[in-house]
């Protein structure tokens, strides 16, 4: 499985960005997908995850501001980020799993995409 993430960039506080992650290769192996982020000097953390059936969960810090979705026909997962804050600044990574959970199973990672929230 290969994952190609895109959509990062520089945005002002309060702004929006949409990240995309397209999967290719053995896509039949993929069930859950998610987005993680890692800020400088911090551990990588789960931002949002979505099962193959579309059930989503979010980190408390992004609830109400971020929305994860997936288009199974396009093998793509999205992260719509609204009301961005400076503390959302991080490298965002796409993740796919062989099980319908992001805490187990074979894991595949995309390259990171930088999101910078600054005025």
pLDDT means per 10 residues in the chain (119 residues)? Answer: 96 98 91 96 96 95 98 94 98 94 89 96
Predicted confidence at residue 26, as pLDDT, reads 87
CA distances from 115 to 74, 89, 96, 102 (A): 24, 5, 20, 22
Report the DSSP pairing between strands 90-97 and 9-11: unpaired
pLDDT at 29: 87
- Residues 33 and 22: beta-carbon distance below 8 Å: no
């Amino acid at each position: 499985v290969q994952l190609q993430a895109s959509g990062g960039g520089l945005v002002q506080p309060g702004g929006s960005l949409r990240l995309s992650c397209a999967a290719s290769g053995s896509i039949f192996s993929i069930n859950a997908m998610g987005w993680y982020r890692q800020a400088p000097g911090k551990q990588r953390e789960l931002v949002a995850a979505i099962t193959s059936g579309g059930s989503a969960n979010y980190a408390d810090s992004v609830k109400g501001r971020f929305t994860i979705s997936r288009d199974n026909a396009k093998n793509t997962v999205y992260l719509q980020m609204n009301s961005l804050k400076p503390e959302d600044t991080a490298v965002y990574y796409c993740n796919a799993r062989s099980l319908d959970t992001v805490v187990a199973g074979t894991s595949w990672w995309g390259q990171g995409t930088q999101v910078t929230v600054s005025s």
